[in-house]
Amino acid sequence: MRPATARCLRAAFCRESMSHVRYVLYAEQADAEQFPSLARLFRALALSQLTRAAANYRAVSELLGVYPAEALAHFVLDRTMDNLARSRDAESEAADEFYGPCLAVAKSQREAGVARGLKSSAEVSRRGAAMIDRTFRETQHAAEEPYIDDLCICRACGDVVEGPPPGSCSVCKGSDFTVVV
């Protein structure tokens, strides 16, 4: 793997690892505010980030060693409605300002496999932002938290899907899903 592409994957791993922990905390906060459905949504987002972080770690550890890794992290822990709004913004920003530029690097270095993964991650983040935004708007105008159907996560790309596991992932064609309870 070319060094600049590897740097992008290490940054992705760094970013996703931190986002994973942030979503774990947002889920705890939602539980504390008695929003079990929103807590489940945050747990699903946490698992999506962990799935992507693990995949990037595996991909990049062919260049084994100790490296610095850097990424932007969203340091905000607030009431759940604020956490929802921030998460939507964080997922949007990830798609446009992180995965997009990384994808350009991987393509320019003809790293086709890595590019495919980054393209999936951009799409997963965009869909995540849309799902969070929908939930945010439904919650804003409701007396109670909105009903959120079962959620499952594609074990290959981390896509978060409402409802039971589909036959294949509409982002990456993977067929293995984890249901979040």
Q: Which residues pair with 180 in a beta bridge?
A: 151
Among candidate residues 106, 63, 95, the one with its CA nearest the CA of residue 87: 95
Q: Which residues pair with 179 in a beta bridge?
A: 152
- Selected from 5, 7, 8, 10, the binder of its own copies by CB under 8 A is 10
Q: Give the residue, chosen from 34, 36, 58, 138, that forms a contact with its own copies under the rule CB under 8 A.
A: 58
**Tokens for 131?**
């799902």
Q: CB nearer to its own copies: give 57 or 136.
A: 57
Interface with its own copies (CB under 8 A), residue from 31, 33, 37, 73: 73
Q: How far apart are the two ends of the chain, measured CA to CA in Å? A: 37
CB 59 within 8 A of CB 51: no
- Decide whether 78 or 176 has the Cβ nearer to its own copies: 78
Identity of the residue, 12 or 41, whose beta carbon is nearer to its own copies in the bound complex:
12
Distances (CA, A) of 61 to 6, 69, 73: 9, 13, 23
Does residue 181 belong to the site contacting its own copies (CB under 8 A)? no
Near its own copies in 27-56, by CB under 8 A: 50, 53-54
Q: Tell me the residue type at 100.
A: G
Q: Which of 66, 88, 69 is nearest to 139 (CA)?
A: 88
Q: Which stretch binds its own copies (CB under 8 A): 22-30, 104-112, 155-163, 165-173?
A: 22-30
Closest distance to its own copies from the beta carbon of 118 (Å):
18
Q: Which residue ranges make up the site for its own copies (CB under 8 A)?
A: 10, 13-14, 16-18, 20-22, 24-25, 50, 53-54, 57-58, 60-61, 63-78, 93
